[in-house]
Chains A and B, each alone.
Chain A
Amino acid sequence: MSSESSPSTPSAPSAVWAIFNREFAGYFRTPLAYVFLSVFNAFAISLAFFVGNIYEAGVANLDRFFLYHPWLWAFLAPAAGARLWAEERRQGTIELLLTWPISVWQVAVGKFLAAWLFLATALFITLPIAFTIGYLGDPDVGVIVSGYLGSLLCAGACLGIASIASALTRNQVIAFVTGFLACFLLVLIGYGVFDEFIGGLFSRNIIEEVRRLGLWRNLEPFTLGLVDLRPVAYFLTLSFGGLGLSTIIIERR
């Protein structure tokens, strides 16, 4: 091999793109991706029909479908995100990523976007339920679109949390369980199950503020067709906060 072409410094977008491509294709290299997509679809649809009684409700909207999405993402975003960094550590390939001429944030962004697109794929596959509602009634398309947007943002938020959990360990199971517990907590506080538990300790105002941090509380406006700044900021803060924090964790090795 000759040294006729001296190595050039990589440009930022091309490195992010290369990481993104590898990661996204990586999901589909194992049967796990198809299991994941099937499980998500099966649960999303059956929860809406059998628990939410979307059909019997007789209203042409998807409220009862999106109602369960925080639960689904709390479980499945950490499942998809557990491998993000833990797998690199286990395989030892993190050493390559950290000694190739790319920065950690490029790797983190590429990975995060690939995982998010994978979750978006899962969400996309549920579209037939929207078409079914459209066939049976006359739903507001704008409301359905904003519901899907909210669910996608919610998925990103859970993924942000999952990526922190994944950056902290080389064990995917631990990464999954930790990520799941953190997301699960964010689902629960919105339902106020801690009210009795912390009611005596804090004032009503504080409890109300805490409840605002719940995932469903922030997803609900979207399912009503409202795209408010506050919930958008909430989801994006969790997404990019998680992305940033996981980058820092990996950098401070």
Chain B
Amino acid sequence: MTLIEVKNLKKSYGSIHAVRGISFSVERGEVVGFLGPNGAGKSTTMKLIAGHLRADHGAAIVAGFDISAHPIEAKTHLGYSPEGAPAYGEMTVREFLRFAADLRNLPNPSERVKKTLELCRLNEVAHQTVDTLSKGYRMRLGFAQAVIHDPEVLILDEPTDGLDPNQKFEVRRILKEMASRKAVIVSTHILEEIDELCTRVIVIAHGEVRCDESKEKFLQRGTDLNEVFRKLTA
């Protein structure tokens, strides 16, 4: 079942063409790794799918709903964690998740918050304010607000950025646990993460899709992934 469908998306900022006609679709059970150099258009594409930015051209369809024509319905089925996992600094972890649950109008919000705290291993910091969290917990909180409603579509912008190896392992573990029931897009700089996490790879450079293939096929392109990456994004 196709849960994400992106058709010829384009977005410019003034004279800069950030996204120049990107198309792809993601099925349930797929974890797509977004690869590409900084400024390649990965984040912009994710923001367009998540409805944070409006596309100049093209469409993004999330769980059957066009994000610009039916934003509320589409966003109901979507979990999105922006780059850097922003959250309200003065709220405690529990309050922040409760706020997310309330805004999503989830049935039984306190139960949801409890389950999400457990799933993302945030229980021990539940009463801490967001400002006092270490980077690892902070990233997990960003992830937690994105999965609190158990969405079908999950879009994560660099969820393991700046984490130590143990923390990365944690995030990957949680993601793998739930991936089979969802369509997931994860952007990353870490090429090794592809093998660990993804079922498919999309390489983006200069606002275009340079390569869209299964993980296995991608890994066969060469033994030195850095070299493969350089060639594809040149």
Contact = CB atoms under 8 A, between A and B. Distances in A.
A95 B155 CA distance: 13
B107 A98 contact: no
A18 B103 contact: yes
Contacts of B88: 22, 26, 91, 93
A195 B208 CA distance: 60
B143 to A, nearest CB: 12
Nearest to B53: A253
A95 B82 contact: yes
A9 B89 contact: no
Contact of B107 (A5, A9, A102): A5
Contacts of A92: 82, 84, 86
Given A1-B116, A15-B103, A99-B50, A26 B80 contact: no
Secondary structure call for the A interface: loop
A244 B197 CA distance: 44
B150 A3 contact: yes
B108 interface: yes
A101 interface: yes
B90 interface: yes
Interface string B188-221: 0000000000000000000000000000000000
Nearest to B178: A1
Interface string B100-133: 1011111110000001100100000000000000
Contacts of B145: 96
Contacts of A98: 51-52
Contacts, number: 96
Nearest to A11: B105
Interface of A: 1-3, 5, 7-11, 14-15, 18-19, 22, 26, 29-30, 91-93, 95-96, 98-103, 253
A72 B198 CA distance: 58
Contact of B108 (A5, A11, A26): A5
A7 B63 CA distance: 12
Given A7-B149, A96-B86, 5 more contacts: A3-B181, A10-B76, A29-B90, A100-B100, A103-B71
Contact of A100 (B54, B91, B103): B103
A99 B106 contact: no
B87 interface: yes
**Most chain A CB inside 10 Å of its own CB: which residue of B53, B86, B89:** B86
Which bracket fits the contact residues of B? 35 or more
B118 to A, nearest CB: 9
A52 to B, nearest CB: 38
9 contacts: A10-B104, A10-B105, A14-B102, A15-B105, A19-B103, A29-B90, A29-B91, A96-B145, A253-B53
A14 B72 contact: no
Contact of A99 (B52, B105, B178, B181): B52
Closest 5 CB pairs of A and B: A92-B86, A10-B105, A101-B75, A18-B102, A95-B82
B56 interface: no
Contacts of B185: none
B108 A9 contact: no
Given A9-B73, A99-B52, A91 B89 contact: yes
Given A18-B102, A26-B90, A91-B88, A1 B119 contact: yes
Contacts of A5: 106-108
B137 interface: no
A100 B52 CA distance: 9
A92 B84 CA distance: 9
Contacts of A11: 105
A177 B47 CA distance: 31
B229 interface: no
Given A11-B105, A98-B51, A100-B104, A30 B76 contact: no
